């Protein structure tokens, strides 16, 4: 039986924040995201709940969303295209976490060429980002 796997962003040799990552992940500035998630974790851990600022809570919420996106079933790894689209929606398009899965469903069903392009090229270019922005606006 395979349990869900959660990446430890401090020690993981993953796509997220790794200099050897695919161009799509570098374009999304995942190295910065990795650092922000670790900082948010540290601030949350070491600050009293009454003392946390709105910014700290916002960073903690974003960190929680990013970690939830990176949680995978070891028997069904997330494809690069899907991970790039999900992270783009969350980080660059500023979608709420709840909007990511409907977006992925829409892209899988009606715009599979976006996923195919990221998978084959390893890149998320301006054209693909513009297409994603249009899809996000339509949702």
For the stretch 5-21, pLDDT in tens is 444 444 444 555 555 57
Question: Helix or strand or coil: residue 125?
Answer: coil
pTM higher than 0.75 for the full model?
no
pLDDT tens track for 64-111: 887 777 777 777 778 889 989 998 998 888 888 889 999 999 999 999
Check residues 92 and 127 and name the one with the higher pLDDT.
127
Please compute Rg for the chain using Cα positions. Answer: 15
Task: Give me the pLDDT at residue 78, please.
Answer: 81
Q: CA 134 to CA 99: how far, in whole Å?
A: 14
Decide which of 55 and 121 is more confident: 121
State which fold the 4-138 domain adopts: 1.20.150
In the chain, where the domains are located: 4-138
pLDDT band, very low/low/confident/very high, at 50 (cuts 50, 70, 90): low
């Amino acid at each position: 039986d395979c349990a869900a796997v959660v990446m430890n962003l401090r020690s993981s040799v993953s796509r997220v924040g790794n200099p050897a990552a695919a161009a799509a992940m570098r374009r999304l500035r995942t190295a910065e995201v990795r650092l922000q998630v670790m900082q948010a974790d540290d601030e949350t851990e070491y600050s009293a709940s009454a003392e946390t600022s709105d910014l700290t809570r916002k960073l903690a919420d974003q960190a929680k969303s990013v970690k939830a996106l990176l949680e995978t079933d070891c028997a069904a790894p997330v494809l690069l295209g899907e991970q790039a689209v999900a992270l783009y929606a969350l980080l660059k398009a500023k979608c709420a976490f709840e909007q990511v899965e409907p977006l992925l469903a829409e892209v899988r069903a009606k715009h599979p060429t976006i996923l195919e392009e990221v998978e084959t090229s390893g890149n998320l270019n301006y054209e693909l980002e513009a297409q994603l922005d249009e899809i996000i606006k339509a949702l």
